[in-house]
Amino acid sequence: MIRFVLSLADVLRFRFSVSPLGETVRLARALANPKSFSQGAHVAWLRERRSALARLREEQDLRPLLVLLSARLHYYPDFLTPTPVGSVGEIADELDQVRATPNEQLRQELDYCLDGASGIDAGIEEQLRSPRAGGLLADLVEALWEAVVAPAWPQLRDVLERDVLYRSRLLARGGLASLFADLEPLVTLRDQELFVNLQFEGAYALDGRGLKLTPSAFIWPYARVVMVDVQPPTLVFPARGVASLFWGMHGAEAAVGQLIGQTRAEILELVAEPTHTSALARRLGRSPGNVADHLKVLHASGLVVRARSGRNVLYSRTPLADALLEGAGQARATGG
C-alpha cells in the first residue's frame, strides 16, 4: 500500500494526462500476463485485432518486451512510460524519451526486473541486459503501437479524455472525496491521505509537487504509481466508460430508437458524459456533418445541451433525455 500525504498546494497542482505510449505498454503487459489479465477491455480489444497481432508476431520477435513485462507482475520499468509534459502525449516524443533513458536508470530498472526471475531464455536475457536494450524495447513498443493501437487511437483517446473531463469536473465541484470515490478499493482517500492499493509499502509527502492523474483502458484490475525524481508522481488508474469502446445498440436505447431514430438514440446514449461532434462521428462511423445534423434536432427537442470547452463544443444529455431512456428501460423490463 502506497500512502501519499496531501496538502492544499498539492491539490491545486493536480494535473491530468493521457499517454499513447503508456496505453501501448499496458496493453503489452496484459498480453504478457494472460492469467492475471483474463478479464478487462484488453481481452475484447485484442480479440478484434487478432489478425493484426498475428501479422506483427510474424514480423517482430516480441519476446524481449513480453518477457520483461512478465518478469515481475507488480512492477515494470518506469522508463517505458514517461509522463507526458502536456495533457495528451505524442507517441514520437514519448518514444524518444525512452530511447534517451540514462544508462544508469536503464540498468537499475531492468536488473530489478530480471534479477531473481526464472525460466528466461538466455538469448532474451542477454538482449535485455545489453546497453542497447532501451532502443530495442522502444522499437518493439512502437511496432505494437503501429499495428494494434494506432488505428483505433482516436476512439481510445476519446474514452480517456472523457474520463479526464469527468474527473476534472468532480474535483472542481466536489473536491477530492468526489474525485476518488468510484476508484475504491484501488485508490482510497482518508482525510488528507491518499492510499493506493499496491504490492509494496511506502509513505510519501508530496510537499506541494502535486500529482499527475492518468486514466488507462488497459490497467484494470490494478493501479500504478510512477515515482521519478524530476517530475511529480503519477497515479495511473482504470478509466471509466471503457465498455463503450465495444458498445452496440441494445436495451433502452433500442426502444428509444423506435421513437426518435436509431442514430439519435445512439447519440443520446453516448452523451451521458460531455462529448464533442468529432468524437461522436468516430464512435458511430458517420461524418461529422451528419452527426451535427442529428445534434441540432436533439438540441431543438430539449434532449441535449451544449457548452464550449476550449476549441470544442461539448454535448450532453438533459434530464429529459435521462427520463426518456429510463422510462424506455423500465417499459422493456416489464414487457410494456
Residue entry with cell 544508469: 104
Band of residue 204 on the pLDDT scale cut at 50, 70, 90: confident
Residue 334 pLDDT > 50? no
- Residues with Cβ within 8 Å of residue 295, at least 6 apart in sequence: 267, 277, 280, 304, 306, 315
- Residues with Cβ within 8 Å of residue 323, at least 6 apart in sequence: none
pLDDT computed for residue 331 by the predictor: 44
Q: In angstroms, rounded to a whole number, what is the distance separating the alpha carbons of residues 325 and 265?
A: 9
Task: Lowest mean pLDDT of 44-53, 147-156, 280-289, 320-329, name the range.
Answer: 320-329
Q: Dihedral of the CA atoms 144, 107, 33, 235 (nearest 10)? A: -80
Residue 293 pLDDT > 70? yes
Q: Is residue 211 within 8 Å of residue 180, measured between CB atoms?
A: no
pLDDT computed for residue 336 by the predictor: 46
pLDDT 10s digits, 210-225 = 888 999 999 888 888 8
pLDDT 10s digits, 106-119 = 999 999 999 978 88
Task: Lowest mean pLDDT of 2-6, 123-127, 138-142, 158-162, name the range.
Answer: 2-6
In 3D, which of 151, 148, 224, 234 has the Cα closest to residue 186? 224
Higher pLDDT, residue 294 or 193:
294
User: Which of 164-173's residues contact partners 24+ apart within 8 Å by CB, and which partners?
Assistant: 164/16, 164/18, 164/87, 164/213, 164/215, 165/273, 165/274, 165/309, 165/314, 166/240, 166/273, 167/16, 167/213, 167/215, 168/16, 171/14
pLDDT 10s digits, 231-267 = 778 899 988 877 666 654 444 455 565 667 888 888 8
Domain 247-334: top CATH class: mainly alpha
pLDDT computed for residue 106 by the predictor: 94
Band of residue 227 on the pLDDT scale cut at 50, 70, 90: confident
Q: Is residue 272 within 8 Å of residue 159, measured between CB atoms?
A: no
> What CA–CA distances, in Å, run from 37 to 40, 225, 254?
7, 18, 32
pLDDT average, residue stretch 193-220 = 85
The grid coordinates listed for 147 are 499495428
pLDDT 10s digits, 56-78 = 999 999 999 999 999 887 788 99
H or E element at residue 203: strand 202-205
Q: Where are the domains of the chain?
A: 2-15+156-241, 17-153, 247-334
> What CA–CA distances, in Å, run from 264 to 58, 256, 257?
43, 9, 7
pLDDT computed for residue 243 by the predictor: 61
pLDDT computed for residue 326 by the predictor: 67
Read off the DSSP letter of residue 16. E
Mean pLDDT for the chain?
84
